[in-house]
A and B are shown apart, each in its own frame.
Chain A
């Protein structure tokens, strides 16, 4: 069986309060990807629609979205692994093509986080953990990542300033990404000024500036078989590895609190599939839902030894001209995090980087790129490796 490639990538602008329906929002990402792929809806043999259902009013969104995109009567289905849904979608698309069942698959990720009221959203947030054992204590997503941050600080001496460095880097690229929800500068001065809103406590030791903003948006990835790419005379970006893993939802079921085992396991699977190691990665997108998550990603992916993640950012090695550029599109922290759309957006960024089409964000001549996308608090992990 031949390789699997990507010939179209698209995303809508990530915004606060998208002024339209989920179908119309989905169309924006789809339109860009299809124009990029130079295909029409009838060429798509199957679609996978990805989002996190807690934000959806629409029951079974795959049906209404595929109808709006003109993807009927082809098969479609809905897929969910929280924040990593669309990376998992790409993994499933890969297997549909690799099995020979289909030659062209569209993976559509979306989230209209503003679809529900903030009260509804706050109620749902309270049920993000195991509702039997942990939610009754009043847990929240930032507090869980905060516990990882505390453990990392305790074990390795990581500081709030190290976390702030991540946010400063994200904002430096968010300012040049026209699709980012947060295009303002975030300076170290602002993050360390106790009067600033950015320095306000959320869940210790994490502060407002450590958390990514909500957003509405869509992403779309068009995947094809090698044979189909040849028939279309297209030069795709190849999918070299699609690693995935899961772990215990409840913290008592885990042993590591300074890193995410799902990222480590997904990375090791993806590196093995691709036949490469972390040293071969030229550019990466990592799941920086909170600043600490990016530091742990450096370590979990092998860009730094355990505990040495903070040194990478202190030495600016993950900036555009550094040794391993990370999140040169602003990351979740500046680009925004519309849950189900995030993975596809990260993959879009890496595809553009590998094609040399990333404009002001372009890293110098990358050959191989990596996407690290995490669902929940290290509950689901996907690592996708792409190459020219």
Chain B
């Protein structure tokens, strides 16, 4: 990529993306490869999800990527009957939070799973997902 081109890969994230430029735009390339990734500070070892380009703990910008893998515990969830502008076609949908013990992941429950099948504390995994409008995100499925 030449210096003159704008790296706006982040505009592909989510039903509606409000950000296009970020130092961690590689996150989008990993999503395209079917991987959900966080970052880890190479200097102090702190893990970040969502990924960050910079470590607030030791002020280093020396980071590496790690794959979000295995099962996380469902901490909570909510099914939305109303959404913001741009999300009308997704409704209703369920947002949720998973706990992987040294980091947590916020996202959506796969629309293949109904709310009645969800229980706080259950094991779930994170999978990449292509939305009907061609955008990318990730969703939670039963582990």
Contacts and interface: CB of A to CB of B under 8 A. Distances in A.
Interface stretch (B1-9, B58-66, B103-111): B103-111
Nearest to A126: B84
A154 B74 CA distance: 12
Contacts of B18: 127, 131-132, 135-136
B137 A137 contact: yes
A123 B106 contact: no
Contact of B108 (A122, A137, A206): A137
B115 interface: yes
B87 interface: yes
A150 B15 contact: no
B16 interface: yes
B127 interface: no
Interface stretch (A50-58, A100-108, A140-148, A342-350): A140-148
Interface stretch (A30-38, A196-204, A274-282, A316-324): A196-204
A304 interface: no
Contacts of B90: 138
Contacts of A251: 97, 104, 106
Given A143-B95, A257-B75, A136 B83 contact: no
Given A133-B50, A154-B120, A143 B78 contact: yes
A140 B82 contact: yes
A146 B79 CA distance: 9
A148 B76 CA distance: 7
Contacts of B17: 136
Interface in A173-190: none
A252 B19 contact: no
Nearest to A120: B85
B104 A204 contact: no
Contact of A257 (B76, B79, B85, B121): B76
Given A136-B13, A136-B16, A139-B95, A150 B107 contact: no
Contact of A137 (B10, B103, B107, B115): B107
Interface string B24-51: 0000000000000000000000000110
A138 B97 contact: no
B37 to A, nearest CB: 13
Interface centre among A123, A126, A144, A205 (most CB of B within 10 A): A126
B78 A138 contact: no
A125 interface: yes
A123 B85 contact: yes
B22 A134 contact: no
Interface of B: 10, 13-19, 22, 49-50, 75-87, 90, 93, 95-97, 103-108, 115, 120-121, 137
Given A136-B18, A202-B82, 20 more contacts: A122-B85, A126-B16, A131-B18, A133-B106, A135-B14, A135-B16, A136-B17, A136-B137, A137-B14, A137-B15, A138-B16, A138-B87, A138-B93, A139-B84, A147-B76, A150-B76, A154-B120, A154-B121, A201-B81, A253-B104
